[in-house]
């Protein structure tokens, strides 16, 4: 039984749960039985877990974690809380390896439907976008510089486990744009001020949909790359939430298919 909040494992959990931008560490923090269960279902490698013995779902999940090869440690509730990143822990936390899909294989797929998150700052927005990608049948997500960590605790909770169901690649924006040109991938950049509505352009794969920063929109480096499209707005509304915009574009691709 681990009883000290200064235990080395607690420090390792807290480090994994720190907010990162861009390329982060090798491990991610999984907080709560649902997220841990989703990770196990998807074949994610869970290495270590802390379980409070009194946790209602703790023992069945501990047995499942051990069967999957994880090291499971009993810990006092206050220790699990110290390792957690939520206000009230559910009594179980785990450390898992971050998925590292092969970038070339993901981006080179002939039926590619890719969502590019370019400079997304809010982890809730990013998590919602990733969850929508899975629901709408997208094939992958690309994360460029300046975007929050897709495997950070807040983003992961917003995905509700969907982050384990789709390849997520972190890549330099310049390399991504160069790859699109070489593979002749159709690129659509969401821009509230674009002249063309998104319903009036070709959307067949391979296609990449780029959604940009919540405040400033797409990076200027995307100027001249692909085609800029807008979602028509009525009334005194300048733009949509980036996750809403991504959902509309992704489901238009799904509808066309």
**Cα(150)–Cα(170) distance, rounded to whole angstroms?**
9
Q: How far apart are CA 63 and CA 40, in angstroms?
A: 12
- Residue ranges of the domains in the chain? 8-97, 103-256
Q: Please, what sign has the CA dihedral across residues 179, 180, 185, 188?
A: positive
Which residues are 195's β-sheet partners? none
For residue 117, the surrounding DSSP H or E stretch is strand 113-117
Pick from 99, 133, 106, 102: nearest CA to 251 = 133
DSSP 142-206: EE-TTPBPTTSHHHHHHHTTGGGSS-EEE--HHHHHHHHHHHT-EEEEE-TT-SEEGGGS--PSS
Which parts of the chain register pLDDT below 50?
A: 21-23
Q: 48-82 burial, b for 16+ CB within 10 Å, e for fewer?
A: bbbbbeebebbeebbebbeebebebbebbeebbbb
Cα dist from 74 to 85, 89, 94, whole Å: 18, 15, 12
pLDDT at residue number 65: 96
Distance (Å, whole) CA 129 – CA 107:
18
Judge if 8-97 and 103-256 fold alike in CATH terms: no
User: Per the omega criterion (within 30 degrees of 0), is the bond before 206 cis?
Assistant: yes
Report the top-level CATH class of 103-256. alpha beta
**What span, in angstroms and rounded, lies between the C-alpha atoms of 53 and 43?**
25
The reply to whether CATH 3.90.1150.10 applies to domain 8-97 is no
Helix (H, G, I), strand (E, B) or coil at 132: helix
- As a residue count, the chain comes to 257
Instruction: Give residue 22's pLDDT.
Output: 43
Q: Which residues pair with 190 in a beta bridge?
A: 229
Residues whose CB falls within 8 Å of the CB of residue 244, separated by 6 or more in sequence, listed in order: none
Instruction: Assess contact for 79 and 10: CB atoms under 8 A.
Output: yes
Q: Could you give the CA distance from residue 106 to residue 98 in angstroms, rounded to a whole number? A: 16
Q: DSSP string spanning 25-91?
A: -SEEEEESHHHHHHHHHTT--EEEEEE-TT-TTHHHHHHHHHHTT-EEEEB-HHHHHHH-SSSS--S
pTM, two decimal places: 0.92
């Amino acid at each position: 039984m681990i009883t000290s909040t200064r235990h080395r494992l607690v420090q390792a959990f807290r480090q994994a749960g720190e907010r990162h931008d861009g390329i982060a560490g090798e491990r991610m923090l999984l907080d709560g039985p649902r997220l841990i269960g989703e990770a196990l279902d998807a074949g994610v490698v869970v290495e270590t877990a802390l379980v409070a013995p009194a946790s209602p779902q703790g023992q069945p999940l501990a047995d499942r974690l051990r069967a999957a090869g994880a090291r499971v440690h009993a810990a006092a509730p206050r220790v699990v809380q110290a390792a957690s990143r939520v206000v009230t822990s559910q009594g179980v936390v785990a450390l898992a390896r971050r998925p590292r899909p092969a970038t070339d294989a993901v981006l080179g797929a002939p039926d590619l439907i890719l969502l590019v998150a370019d400079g997304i700052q809010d982890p809730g927005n990013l998590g919602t976008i990733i969850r929508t990608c899975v629901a709408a049948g997208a094939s992958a997500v690309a994360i460029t510089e300046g975007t929050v960590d897709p495997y950070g605790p807040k983003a992961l909770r917003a995905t509700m486990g969907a982050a384990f169901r789709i390849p997520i690649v972190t890549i330099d924006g310049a390399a991504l744009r160069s790859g699109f040109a070489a593979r002749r991938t159709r690129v659509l950049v969401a821009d509230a001020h674009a002249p063309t509505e998104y319903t009036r352009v070709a959307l067949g794969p391979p296609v990449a949909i780029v959604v940009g920063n919540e405040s400033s929109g797409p990076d200027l480096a995307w100027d001249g790359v692909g085609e800029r499209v807008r979602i028509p707005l009525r009334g005194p509304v300048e733009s949509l939430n980036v996750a809403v915009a991504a959902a509309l574009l992704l489901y238009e691709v799904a509808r066309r298919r």
